[in-house]
Every structure is written in structure tokens, then in C-alpha cells.
Chain A
């Protein structure tokens, strides 16, 4: 089961990213827990400078802007 964190203080892009991750996981049938991290200190703790960011199993896979759906799928499958 993958532990996915979506980093973002709550702007629309960050919410869209969270939705994308959940959609992709459902589509691929991958087991995930998706957690939205909005606390600035926590976000900074990952070293992410621009949101939205995506952390999977403790590793930052994306930071800044909306990710491409096929990239999200690749990360979830990898």
C-alpha cells in the first residue's frame, strides 16, 4: 500500500492534484492512502519550494504545477 501525500496550502491546483491522484489510483486499482498536507512547516520539511507537491512513500516525486496524468500513473505503478 502506497503512502501518498499531496502537499499544498489549499489553492485550487493543489486540490485538483489530490483529485488526480485519487482518480488515477482508483483507475489503476492501486492501493493508496492519500493525505493532504497543508501545514507550511511540514511542506517545507520535505524541501518542496513550489506547490502542489507529491510525496510517495517518503520520496518527493513532483513539485510545482499540475502534474500530467500519465506521470501520476507512472509514479503509482512504479
Chain B
């Protein structure tokens, strides 16, 4: 089964990872300080000094920049080593592959690390407190933004939904959060930025947030609280005391960033390679006219078809985007391919199945309808803008 990557899922570390503080390669920091409880009888464990960690991160960044800058010459050199004519289909496909694979992996690592650190400043509890009682409109905007920044595991989707709704976060606002979270994920953004350009990435971000805000607002206006499952409405959201505030230290934050990298890149790299290989094949072999015919902007039905195709599909953004890039490079309309991508990611079947526990089928249908319409609109707009 295709591994599902939507942003929230990325924070669910697989249990085969040791639950003990991870020992980091390369930085040489003694982990014994973190694993010996006897050293601090009062309670809070001694933390290792952050400076070696900061130095390590700095060095890693410098190395990153160095490698990134050498990608084009390196890939060309690799192709020249093979008995292949550079200007042939195969040569062009290979160059694309050798260049894009490390590039994508590098970008992904950087972005995932950065987002992991940023997310350590947020928590679902804080977000819930921020959103409770906010009126619609402003609440939808905040929720969409927070949806991008709050870490949560997809298995928490239901507790989170319930927790939000019963704490007084309006239904529509909660939906804005839940729509933004998977759609505007840093994997998709990073890859778009690296493969297609910052303008497209930024527009995707803007439109993704817009869809989340407007869809959530519309659902809120429809006053569908009655369409939640009965038991949800009957919940007494008690608290067994205030949730303790476990504020991470700087070193903790770096750990979280590294965890995210190991988790996400570790799961996704195979799909990236497969996706880029497919993209390389398209890049080198599929004639441009064919693409334009199927997915060009002139075929008005291409946008709705793309959205509909995306609904039952679930795959990860990483695998899809290199294909997206190759398609666009061959003349497929930007709006259509992005609508497809958004549909695949935002209208994901597994998340729907999880939410089925709290939402009635009617509400799920409304959800699909509203978000699908939003994506359609985005698709047509993109086509019009970037024609």
C-alpha cells in the first residue's frame, strides 16, 4: 500500500525507533547526561550544553550549501562517465535523474528539519487555547495558519477534533485547521519550491490556505453541528487537571528537527526516487504534444477530471511532485496538475476513514464537496494566471 504522507502523519514516529533519547551521529555530544536519572534527584534531567549542537547544525548547513551548489556539475559528470550520448533521450533522462534526486533529498531534509524545529514551538493544546471561542472569519484564518504549524500525529486526528469542538472552537474553524494541515505540508511546498520555482510554491501556499479558510468558513456557516456523530455531541470535555507545559529546550528542538528528518526522509526517499525516475522518463521520452493534449489548459474538463481522479488516490506528496514537475515541463497546465496534487493530498481517504468516527457520512460528503470545489476553483485560477 502506498505509504500515506500527509503532514500530520509525519510526526508519528514508528515504534521500532528506540524510545530512548536518540544518539545523534556526527555531533559527538555525550548522551549520558540525558539518560542517567540519578544525576538529578530533584527531577529535571540535566541537559547537555547546546553549543556543540548549534555548532553541529551550523556545520551541517554549510555542508548542505556546498553540496547543493555542486549538483549540476556533479550530475553532468556522472552522465559523462556512462556510455550514453548526453543529448539523447536516455542521456537527458539520466541527467535529470542524477540532478534531481540529490537535490530533492537535500531540499526535503532542510525543510523538514526547519519545520520540525518550528513546530516544537507549537502544540495542539496551545492551538486549542488560541482558537477557542474565536469567531468565524478571524478564527478560520488563524486555524489555517496554525494547521500548518501545529504538530500532530494523524492518530490524534479524532481526539484533536473532539478536543477542539468541545473546548469551544467553532466547527468551521476546526475544519479550517484540519484542511490546512495536510494540504499545506512542508514536503509539498519544499518540493514545489525546488522543482518548479518559488512563485509556484508561494501561490500554492496562498491558495492552499485560502481553500482551508473559505471551506472551513462555509462549513461553519452551514451550521452542521447536528451532523456530527451523536456521541461526539454528548462528550463532556473534562480535564483531569491542567495539561503540564513541557517546554522543550533548544537541544530538544534540534532533536525534534532531526527526528522529523529521520522519520520523513527515511520513509519518503524511496518514493522520491521512484517519482523522479518516472519524472525522468516523462522528461526524456514523452513528447510535449501528447502532454498538452491530455492535460493542457485548453481541455476545460482537465481540471475537474484531475480533482475527481485525486479523490480516491492517496500517495505522498514527495512521490507525486517530481512527476508534476516533469508534466509541467512538458506542457501540462499548471492549474490542472496542482489541482490533482491538492486533491490527492487534501481529500485523502485514510483521513476520511479516521474522521468517519466523528463525522456522519453527510458531513463527510459536505466536506468533500466544499474542499473539492475550492480545489477546482484553484485549478482554474492557476490555469488562467500562469497560462
Contact = CB atoms under 8 A, between A and B. Distances in A.
B57 interface: no
B234 to A, nearest CB: 8
B239 A60 contact: yes
Nearest to B242: A60
Interface stretch (B11-19, B61-69, B361-369, B377-385): B11-19
Given A45-B237, A68-B21, A70-B35, A50 B125 contact: yes
B240 A69 contact: no
A41 interface: yes
Given A49-B156, A49-B163, A69-B19, A44 B14 contact: no
Secondary structure at the B interface, as helix, strand, loop or mixed, is loop
Contacts of A58: 240-241
Q: Is the interface of A mostly helix, strand, loop or mixed?
A: mixed
A34 interface: no
A4 interface: no
Interface size range of chain B in the complex: 35 or more
A43 B159 CA distance: 7
Interface string B109-126: 000000000000001110
A25 interface: no
Contacts of A61: 244
Contacts of A68: 21, 34, 45
B40 to A, nearest CB: 9
B244 A60 contact: yes
B236 A12 contact: no
B349 interface: no
Interface in A1-31: 7-17, 19-20
Which 7 pairs of residues, A with B, have the shortest CB-CB distance?
Answer: A47-B239, A12-B15, A11-B155, A49-B163, A16-B15, A44-B162, A50-B124
Given A17-B19, A44-B237, A63-B125, 20 more contacts: A8-B155, A9-B158, A12-B12, A40-B162, A44-B162, A44-B163, A47-B237, A49-B128, A49-B160, A50-B124, A50-B125, A51-B153, A59-B240, A64-B152, A65-B11, A65-B151, A68-B21, A69-B21, A70-B45, A71-B246
Interface of A: 7-17, 19-20, 40-41, 43-51, 55, 58-66, 68-71, 73-74, 78
